[in-house]
Amino acid sequence: MSGSRTKFIVSPGGRLKGTMRVPGDKSISHRSIMLGSLADGVTEVEGFLEGEDNLATLNAFRAMGVKIEGPEKGRVVIHGVGIDGLKASSEDIYLGNSGTSMRLLTGLFSAQKFDTTLAGDSSLNTRPMRRVTNPLSKMGASFKTTEAGTPPVTIIGNQRLTGINYDMPVASAQVKSSLLLAGLYADGQTCVTEPAPTRDHTERMLKGFGYPVQQTGNKVCVQGGGRLTATKIDVPADISSATFFMVGASIAEGSDIILRHVGINPTRIGVINILKLMGADIELSNESEIGGEPVADIRVRSTSLKGIKIPEDQVPLAIDEFPAIFIAAACAQGETVLTGAKELRVKESDRIQAMADGLIKLGIDAEAKEDGIIIQGGQMTGGTVDSCGDHRIAMSFTIAGLRAAAPITILDCANVDTSFPSFAKLAELSGLKILVEDN
Is 25 a catalytic site residue? no
d(Cα 345, Cα 196) in Å, to the nearest integer?
Answer: 19
**63, 45, 139, 61: which is closest to 101 by C-alpha?**
61
Alpha carbons 433 and 12: distance in angstroms, whole number: 7
Selected catalytic residue, list 53, 320, 390, 412: 320
Question: Does residue 246 contact residue 282 with C-beta atoms inside 8 Å?
Answer: yes
Angle, in degrees to the nearest 10, between helices 391-400 and 423-430? 10
3 state DSSP class of 377: coil
CB 106 within 8 A of CB 178: yes
The CB density around residue 287, as the number of other CB atoms within 10 Å, is 10
Cβ atoms of residues 305 and 280 within 8 Å = yes
Nearest to 120 by CA among 102, 144, 147, 145: 102
> By the 8 A CB rule, do 336 and 314 touch?
no
* H/E element, 284: strand 281-290
Report the C-alpha gap between 319 and 338 in whole angstroms.
Answer: 11
Render 71-123 in DSSP notation, one character per residue. Answer: EETTEEEEE---TT-----SSPEE-TT-HHHHHHHHHHHTTSSS-EEEE--TT
Whether residue 187 contacts residue 224, with contact meaning beta carbons closer than 8 Å, is answered with yes
Prior bond of 294 cis (ω within 30°): no
- Classify the C-alpha dihedral 50-24-82-113 as positive or negative: positive
Whether omega before 152 lies within 30 degrees of 0, making that bond cis, reads yes
3-state secondary structure 92-105: CEECCCCHHHHHHH
The residues, ordered by sequence, that sit 6+ positions from 282 with a Cβ below 8 Å of its Cβ are 246, 250, 272, 275, 276, 298, 299, 300
Catalytic residues: 320
